[in-house]
Amino acid sequence: MKRGSFNSEHKVFIRENWNKPLIKFLSKKINDRLIYIGLPSSQAEDLTHWIEFIKEVIAFQCREYGKPSDSSQSRAGIEALEEFLSRLERERKLDNFIVYDGYLEEVVLKGFDNSPNNIKFEQNSVITLYNLDFCNDIASPIEYIDRNGDKHKVYKFDAIRSLLRIQQGLSHVSDKFLFLLTIHCSYKGAELQDFLNNPPDKQIAEYLATYRHLTGHERNARIIRLFICYQIARYFPDHNFSHKILPIIKYKGLNGTPLLHFVILGTKTQPSAQGAPVYQPLNEVLDQKFISIEAEEFVNLDSVLMEKDIVELDPIRLFTQSKTYKKLWA
C-alpha cells in the first residue's frame, strides 16, 4: 500500500484545534515561521493546515508504506509530494523544501535516500516543528542495505536520537521547538519487549505491574504511553533539551484504528553538572487520564484506573500554566 492520506475526522480535529494553536503560538514566540521536518502524505494535509506558519520543509516519503524499500517500487507518491511542495514554493508560500525517498529512520541513519541520485541526508537548519506521524508500531524496526551491501535493522527512536543529537550541535536562532508524535496503540519488536522484560527502574516496573492487570487497548495504550514518555524523559535531557509533555490524546484513526498523539515542547538549555533542567516529573503525565474527542470537543477519557482528570483542555493554557513555561519561556 502506498502512503496516501491517513486523515480521519479525529485527526483533522486534532490538527486544527490542538496542533495549530501551538504552532501559531510558537511562531509568534520566536518571531519567525517554522522549519518543518516530518512524514506528510503525498497530499500533505498537515502542511495545508499549517502553511502560513511554515517556511521550510524537510519531508520523508517511502514508496510502499509498511514494506522494505525497493528500487522496483513506484515513486508516484514521492513525485506527487514533490510537485505539491514545488507548487507551494512557486506560490511563495514556502522558501524551500526537500523530499527524501525512504523511511525517516532508514534515511537518517543510512545517511542518504533511495532516489536515483541517492540524495545525502543533511540537517543544517535548527528544526522548530517535528511532525512524526508514524501510524504504526513505535518499536517496529526497518531494515535497509547500506552502500557496502550490509543489512541493518533500525528503530524509530534511533532516528529521533540522531535528529536530537544533530539539533544540539547546530548554531541556532531559536532554542524552542514543537515535537509532535503519532503512533499506533499497539506494540511489538525487540526494543519494547526488552523494556517490558527488563524495566529500567523501580518506578517503571511499578507502572508495568499495574498495567498487566488490564487487557486490550486499555493495557496497550498505557504501556505505549509509558515507553514513549520514558524515552522522551531520558533522551531530551541527554541532549540538553528540557521538555514539557502535554496530556496524551487517544483517538480513532481510519477504520477505527486506535492511535496515540504526543505533543512535546522542547527548549535547548545550558548544560550543568546535573544535566538539563526538567520541571515535569514523569508521573505527572502517567497519572493523568487520556484526552479524547467527543462531539467536536476534547474530553477526559473514562479510565479503568484511578487516573486524574485533566481540568484544563486548552493546549496553550496547559503549557503557559506549566512550570516549564514559567522557567524557560516566559
Task: Count the Cβ atoms, other than its own, within 10 Å of residue 48.
Answer: 12
In eight-state DSSP terms, residue 66 is T
Above 50 in pLDDT, residue 290? yes
pLDDT band for position 137 (50/70/90)?
Answer: low
Hey, what amino acid is at 128?
T
For residue 84, give the DSSP letter.
H
Compute the average pLDDT of residues 172-196: 83
CB 236 within 8 A of CB 243: yes
For residue 3, pLDDT beyond 50:
no
Mean pLDDT estimate for the chain? 90
Per-residue pLDDT of 145-175, as tens digits, reads: 778 778 888 778 888 889 999 888 886 667 8
Q: Name the residue ranges covered by the structural domains of the chain.
A: 9-328
Question: By CB neighbour count within 10 A (0-12 exposed, 13-18 middle, 19+ buried), where does 13 fall?
Answer: middle
pLDDT at residue number 132? 92
pLDDT (tens digit per residue) in 264-287: 999 998 877 777 899 999 999 999
88-111 per-residue burial string, b: 16 or more CB within 10 A, e: under 16: beeeeebeebbbbbbbbbbbbbbe
Average pLDDT over residues 222-232: 95
Which pLDDT does position 41 carry in this prediction? Answer: 86
Take residue 189 and report the three cell numbers written for it.
519488536
> Which residue type does 86 have?
S
Task: Give the per-residue pLDDT at 4.
Answer: 45
Q: Are 253 and 259 in contact (CB under 8 A)?
A: yes
Which superfamily does 9-328 belong to? Vaccinia Virus protein VP39 (3.40.50.150)
pLDDT at 176 over 80: yes
pLDDT in the model for residue 135: 56
